[in-house]
Amino acid sequence: MNKYDIIIIGAGPGGLTAGIYAGRQGTKNLIIDRDLAGGIGREVPQMENYPGFESISGMELIEKIKAQAIKNCELHEMENVEAITQNDNEYRFTVKTNKDEYLTKTVILATGSSHRHLEAKGEEEFKGKGVSYCATCDGFFFAGRDIVMVGGGNSALQEAIYLKNLGANVTIIHRRDEFRAQQHLQDMIKQEGIKTILNATVEEIKGEMLVEAVVLKDTKTGELKEIPTNGVFISVGYIPHTELATQLGVDLDKTGHIITDKEQKTNIDYVYAIGDVCVGLKQWVVACGEGAVAATSAYTDIKQKS
How much of the chain, in percent, has pLDDT values that exceed 70? 99
Per-residue pLDDT tens for 164-208?
A: 999 999 999 999 999 999 999 999 999 999 999 999 999 999 999
Phi, psi of 277 (to 5 degrees): -75, -10
The mean pLDDT of 118-122, rounded to a whole number, is 95
pLDDT at 306 over 70: no
State the average pLDDT for the chain. 94
Would you say 300 and 270 are in contact if contact means Cβ atoms under 8 Å apart?
no
List the strands of the sheet with 131-132, edge to edge: 131-132, 231-234, 146-150, 169-173, 195-197
- CATH C-level class of 117-234: alpha beta
Q: What is the pLDDT of residue 196?
A: 97
CA dihedral 287, 110, 276, 80 (to 10 degrees): 140
pLDDT at 42 over 90: no
The mean pLDDT of 273-295, rounded to a whole number, is 94
The contacts of residue 116 (CB under 8 Å, 6+ apart) are 236, 237, 238, 239
Q: Are strands 200-207 and 211-218 parallel, antiparallel or unpaired?
A: antiparallel
As annotated, the residues of the chain forming the CATH 3.50.50.60 domain(s) are 2-114+238-305, 117-234
CATH dotted code for 2-114+238-305:
3.50.50.60
pLDDT at 78 over 90: yes
pLDDT at 39 over 90: no
Per-residue pLDDT tens for 132-157?
A: 998 888 899 999 999 999 999 999 99
pTM of this structure: 0.83
Q: What is the pLDDT of residue 69?
A: 97
The mean pLDDT of 112-139, rounded to a whole number, is 92
